[in-house]
């Protein structure tokens, strides 16, 4: 049965990639509008591609260095297997490819969306949403392809044995390509995030606040950089990010399946195949859901919103039903299906709470807007306060999700650790199973946003901008659900990876020939059959071990220091951008009257340079901290580090995302007329809040979700190094 259901994975991949290609080629047949529109779109496209080329150059160097390190570990130190360097490369390559395709689509779609929006809201939605779907389907298609191919290749070289150990080697080796994907994603998120926010902050502060000209006004020299930024940060960055999340959740759960059902015959292979099958079916349902997003030509904003909701709800409901049959067909306990349901429920609660805390239909964001009456300082204090308080609901939801997913998978037996953790992994897979469609609603926002920019810069009727803004707003509402799943799955996947780390320790010990564990009290145990709790006891991973405690502190600090480096990078590049825009306003005569063309290229160059330089340090920190901690503090230190970084990073990420979102919408609320509307002192104060929130919600926040998983994956891949050479 497992072998049959496995083939759903390549099938799902093929369907996803086919529909991505179909939507892309259909979109390309639409008109780009006027010559000016096509020209602006080509500026943005060229800028975005130029940046991505630069970024890939830096990333290639880092990958080259890491591949050499991994090869050294595999071939000289013999603490890893020879597939690891190649798997690492493919993960990085495909993750980058997902971002690249998504961005290419988005940069072709923006002018076309704007032109279609001239006709009707519905026409605009169709192009933007289908283009977002290209990204969603490309990501899931490439992940499923990568997973299916590697699973087949490794099974050919490590044939399944009765003792089940080869399946453990296969699944833990595959984690390496997750590490490749995470590394690529971190660079994309950090670099893209710095780029886009430096441009955005620079454009807003001088353009909107000082010169009083509208967003995306062609007189603003930073406008092109700002639109490029939306593509490299929000599209390419998001694509690489979700490739990483999706791959990470499936791979971690596969590895846990191999561990949890070790020695239970065919059930082990079934448990490994289950996450792949669920993801594959989720992908097919996503394609179905995307096709359900249909509306009549005279659709209003409300009916469009319903249409989007219908697509997402249908796929989510159907995955709940179908995954029950997958779990049963694979003879896995029904409790594991319940884990998936609890995971989805937690994701939904997180999505709803995100909406409550960041939408201006509710009290918290309105209170921030009220505080704009007393100036920027009170807006900022209120936003920071709301962001901090808002962490309560998502954390409680994740906690309940963890407890129930664990207990139901473990037959309510707390000591059944391996199966319980497998349930947590399945919950994460469930949350992301319909990524194909939820990512489509997420990625279409920046496309609509860019369409608006294009309309503004090419001087289309104000009605078009209003429609693209409406599309953007629609996307923000539906995207909340997808974001809830992404955030929740990050925490659950990180926990699953923590367990995979212990599993990889076992593989590492066996590889260096330590087949017996000798405990401090002199008793011994077989390395291959010892359980998770046995390993905890062997390495002394308790909360009274000072090394564990020290690791937890280190992890908590890492989350803050990493975010601080990202904030500083945005701050520095933004300050340079502000200076440059001010200089152009001052020195280029006639620029503000629209008589002289601004020097867009210089602003693009400032963002590019700022991002290139500043993304390296935080990213290397994320990669080398687990390695160094492992060598100095050993396994206890690494486990502390991972849980410290995961817990603090998770809460910090929610704080930054929600504070940023709330400031953004408080500003929009005022722009819609509250507290004096656009141009009022309250509006100025709210713009400052929004500006501070930008690097929170679009640079540091989303990067943290990758950071916690990347650190875990690095730890897993380096586990062999740790057990062989650690000082402690």
Q: Does 644 bind a second copy (CB under 8 A)?
A: yes
Binding mask 44-63 for a second copy (x = CB under 8 A): --------------------
Residue 698 and residue 37: Cα distance in Å, rounded? 27
Residue 358 and residue 134: Cα distance in Å, rounded? 28
Residue 501 and residue 630: Cα distance in Å, rounded? 12
Q: Which stretch binds a second copy (CB under 8 A): 267-275, 309-317, 559-567, 668-676?
A: 559-567
Smallest gap from Cβ 555 to a second copy, in A, equals 8
Determine which residue in the list 444, 485, 532, 600 makes contact with a second copy, applying CB under 8 A: 532
Kindly tell me which of 305 and 398 has the beta carbon lying closer to a second copy: 398
Helix (H/G/I), strand (E/B), else coil: 726 = coil
Determine which residue in the list 63, 150, 243, 650 makes contact with a second copy, applying CB under 8 A: 650
> Token match 């026409």: residue?
123
Structure tokens, 167: 């399946």
Helix (H/G/I), strand (E/B), else coil: 520 = coil
Binding positions for a second copy, 353-372, rule CB under 8 A: 370-371
Nearest residue to 290 (alpha-carbon basis) of 139, 141, 441: 441
Smallest gap from Cβ 557 to a second copy, in A, equals 4
Q: Does 89 bind a second copy (CB under 8 A)?
A: no
Cα dihedral: 333, 334, 337, 339 (round 10): -80
What does DSSP assign to residue 543? T
Determine which residue in the list 91, 178, 347, 420 makes contact with a second copy, applying CB under 8 A: 420
Largest CA distance in the chain: 85
Determine which residue in the list 39, 42, 301, 374 makes contact with a second copy, applying CB under 8 A: 374
Kindly tell me which of 179 and 704 has the beta carbon lying closer to a second copy: 704
Smallest gap from Cβ 639 to a second copy, in A, equals 5
Cα distances (Å, whole numbers) of residue 190 to 196, 286, 479, 510, 699: 10, 29, 21, 37, 6
Helix (H/G/I), strand (E/B), else coil: 557 = helix
Determine which residue in the list 340, 386, 486, 603 makes contact with a second copy, applying CB under 8 A: 386
Q: Which stretch binds a second copy (CB under 8 A): 24-32, 313-321, 566-574, 664-672?
A: 566-574
Q: Which stretch binds a second copy (CB under 8 A): 31-39, 323-331, 444-452, 573-581?
A: 573-581
Q: Which stretch binds a second copy (CB under 8 A): 42-50, 63-71, 316-324, 415-423?
A: 415-423
Q: Does 525 bind a second copy (CB under 8 A)?
A: no
Binding positions for a second copy, 322-351, rule CB under 8 A: none
Residues 201/603, Cβ–Cβ less than 8 Å: no
Residues 250/178, Cβ–Cβ less than 8 Å: no
Contacts with a second copy by CB under 8 A: the residue count is 94
Determine which residue in the list 349, 398, 455, 657 makes contact with a second copy, applying CB under 8 A: 398
Determine which residue in the list 90, 306, 378, 612 makes contact with a second copy, applying CB under 8 A: 378
Q: Which stretch binds a second copy (CB under 8 A): 97-105, 335-343, 419-427, 464-472?
A: 419-427
Binding positions for a second copy, 461-500, rule CB under 8 A: 491, 495, 498-499
Nearest residue to 204 (alpha-carbon basis) of 187, 180, 220: 220
Q: Does 414 bind a second copy (CB under 8 A)?
A: yes
Smallest gap from Cβ 209 to a second copy, in A, equals 7
- 76 exposure class (CB count in 10 Å sphere: 0-12, 13-18, 19+): exposed
Kindly tell me which of 140 and 386 has the beta carbon lying closer to a second copy: 386
Kindly tell me which of 325 and 519 has the beta carbon lying closer to a second copy: 519
Binding positions for a second copy, 432-451, rule CB under 8 A: none
Determine which residue in the list 695, 701, 702, 720 makes contact with a second copy, applying CB under 8 A: 695
Structure tokens, 619: 């990213």
Residues 249/140, Cβ–Cβ less than 8 Å: no
Smallest gap from Cβ 653 to a second copy, in A, equals 11
SS (H, E, C) 215-255: CCCCCCCCHHHHHHHHHHHHHHHHHHHHHHHHHHHHHHHHH
Helix (H/G/I), strand (E/B), else coil: 526 = strand
Binding positions for a second copy, 189-218, rule CB under 8 A: 201, 205, 209
Binding positions for a second copy, 591-610, rule CB under 8 A: none
Kindly tell me which of 485 and 501 has the beta carbon lying closer to a second copy: 501
Structure tokens, 485: 């799943």
Structure tokens, 128: 């933007």
Kindly tell me which of 225 and 574 has the beta carbon lying closer to a second copy: 574
Smallest gap from Cβ 264 to a second copy, in A, equals 20
Q: Does 676 bind a second copy (CB under 8 A)?
A: no
Determine which residue in the list 309, 333, 385, 676 makes contact with a second copy, applying CB under 8 A: 385
Determine which residue in the list 546, 673, 677, 679 makes contact with a second copy, applying CB under 8 A: 546
Could you give the angle at which helices 266-292 and 435-457 cross, rounded to 10 degrees? Answer: 40
Smallest gap from Cβ 191 to a second copy, in A, equals 17
The dihedral built from the CA positions of residue 663, 665, 671 and 672, taken in this order, carries a sign that is: negative
Determine which residue in the list 169, 486, 554, 603 makes contact with a second copy, applying CB under 8 A: 554
Cα distances (Å, whole numbers) of residue 724 to 73, 82, 504, 512, 550: 11, 17, 13, 7, 22
Residue 454 and residue 221: Cα distance in Å, rounded? 15
- 31 exposure class (CB count in 10 Å sphere: 0-12, 13-18, 19+): exposed
Q: Does 389 bind a second copy (CB under 8 A)?
A: yes
Helix (H/G/I), strand (E/B), else coil: 525 = strand
Determine which residue in the list 126, 189, 537, 709 makes contact with a second copy, applying CB under 8 A: 537
Smallest gap from Cβ 565 to a second copy, in A, equals 6
Residue 535 and residue 539: Cα distance in Å, rounded? 6
Determine which residue in the list 167, 402, 487, 717 makes contact with a second copy, applying CB under 8 A: 402
Q: Does 557 bind a second copy (CB under 8 A)?
A: yes
Length of the chain: 728
Nearest residue to 335 (alpha-carbon basis) of 245, 244, 271: 271
Q: Does 382 bind a second copy (CB under 8 A)?
A: yes
């Amino acid at each position: 049965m497992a072998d049959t259901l496995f083939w759903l994975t390549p099938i799902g991949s093929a369907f996803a990639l086919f529909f991505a290609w179909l939507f892309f080629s259909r979109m390309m047949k639409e008109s780009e509008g006027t010559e000016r529109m096509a020209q602006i779109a080509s500026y943005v496209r060229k800028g975005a591609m130029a940046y991505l080329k630069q970024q890939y150059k830096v990333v290639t160097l880092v990958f080259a260095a890491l591949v050499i390190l991994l090869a050294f570990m595999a071939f000289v130190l013999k603490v890893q297997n020879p597939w690891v360097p190649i798997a690492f490369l493919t993960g990085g390559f495909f993750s980058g490819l997902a971002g690249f395709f998504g961005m290419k689509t988005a940069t072709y779609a923006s002018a076309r969306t704007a032109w279609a929006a001239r006709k009707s809201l519905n026409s605009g939605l169709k192009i933007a949403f289908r283009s977002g779907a290209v990204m969603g389907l490309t990501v899931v298609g490439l992940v499923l392809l990568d997973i299916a191919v590697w699973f087949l290749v490794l099974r050919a070289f490590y044939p399944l044995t009765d003792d089940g150990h080869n399946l453990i080697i296969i699944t833990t080796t595959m984690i390496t390509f997750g590490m490749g994907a995470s590394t690529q994603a971190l660079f994309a998120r950090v670099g893209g995030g710095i780029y886009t926010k430096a441009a955005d902050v620079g454009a807003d502060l001088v353009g909107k606040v000082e010169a009083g000209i509208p967003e995306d006004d062609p007189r603003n020299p930073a406008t092109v950089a700002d639109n490029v930024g939306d593509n490299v940060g929000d599209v390419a960055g998001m694509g690489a990010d979700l490739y990483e999340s999706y791959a990470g959740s499936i791979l971690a759960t596969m590895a846990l399946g191999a561990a949890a059902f070790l020695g239970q015959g065919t059930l082990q292979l079934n448990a490994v195949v289950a996450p792949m099958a669920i993801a594959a079916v989720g992908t097919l349902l996503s394609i179905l859901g995307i096709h359900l997003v249909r509306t009549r030509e005279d659709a209003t904003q409300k009916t469009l919103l319903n249409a989007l909701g219908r697509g997402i709800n249908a796929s989510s409901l159907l995955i709940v039903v179908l995954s029950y049959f997958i779990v049963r067909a694979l003879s896995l306990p029904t409790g594991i299906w319940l884990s998936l349901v609890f995971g989805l429920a937690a994701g939904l609660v997180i999505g709803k709470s995100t909406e409550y805390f960041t939408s201006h239909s509710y009290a918290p964001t309105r209170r921030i807007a009220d505080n704009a009456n007393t100036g920027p300082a009170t807006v900022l204090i209120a936003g920071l306060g709301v962001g901090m308080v808002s962490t309560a609901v998502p954390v409680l939801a994740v906690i309940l999700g963890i407890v129930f997913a664990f207990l139901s998978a473990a037959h309510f037996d707390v000591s059944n650790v391996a199966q319980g953790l497998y349930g947590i992994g399945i919950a994460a897979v469930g949350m992301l199973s319909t990524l194909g469609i939820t990512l489509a609603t997420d990625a279409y926002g920046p496309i609509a946003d860019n369409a608006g920019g294009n309309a503004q810069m090419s001087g289309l009727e104000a009605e078009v901008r209003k429609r693209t803004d409406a599309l953007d707003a629609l996307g923000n509402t539906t995207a909340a659900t997808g974001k809830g799943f992404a955030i929740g799955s990050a925490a659950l996947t990180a926990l699953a990876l923590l367990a995979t780390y212990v599993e990889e320790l076992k593989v590492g010990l066996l590889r260096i020939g330590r087949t017996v564990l000798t405990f401090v009290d002199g008793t011994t145990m077989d390395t291959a059959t010892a359980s998770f709790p046995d390993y905890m006891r062997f390495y002394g991973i308790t909360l009274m071990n000072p090394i564990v405690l020290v690791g937890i502190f280190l992890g908590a600090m890492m989350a803050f220091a990493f975010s601080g480096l990202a904030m500083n990078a945005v701050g520095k590049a933004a300050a340079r951008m502000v200076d440059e825009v001010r200089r152009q306003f001052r020195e280029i005569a006639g620029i503000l009257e629209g008589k002289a063309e601004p020097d867009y290229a210089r602003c693009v160059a400032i963002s590019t340079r700022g991002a290139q330089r500043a993304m390296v340090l935080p990213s290397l920190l994320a990669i080398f901290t687990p390695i160094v901690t492992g060598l100095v503090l050993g396994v206890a230190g690494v486990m502390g580090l991972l849980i410290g970084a995961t817990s603090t990073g998770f809460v910090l990420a929610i704080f930054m995302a929600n504070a940023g979102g709330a400031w953004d919408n408080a500003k929009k609320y005022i722009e819609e007329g509250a507290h004096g509307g656009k141009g009022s002192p309250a509006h100025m104060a709210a713009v400052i809040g929004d500006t501070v929130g930008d690097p929170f919600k679009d640079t540091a926040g989303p990067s943290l979700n990758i950071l916690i998983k990347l650190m875990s994956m690095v730890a897993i891949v380096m586990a062999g190094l740790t057990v062989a050479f650690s000082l402690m």
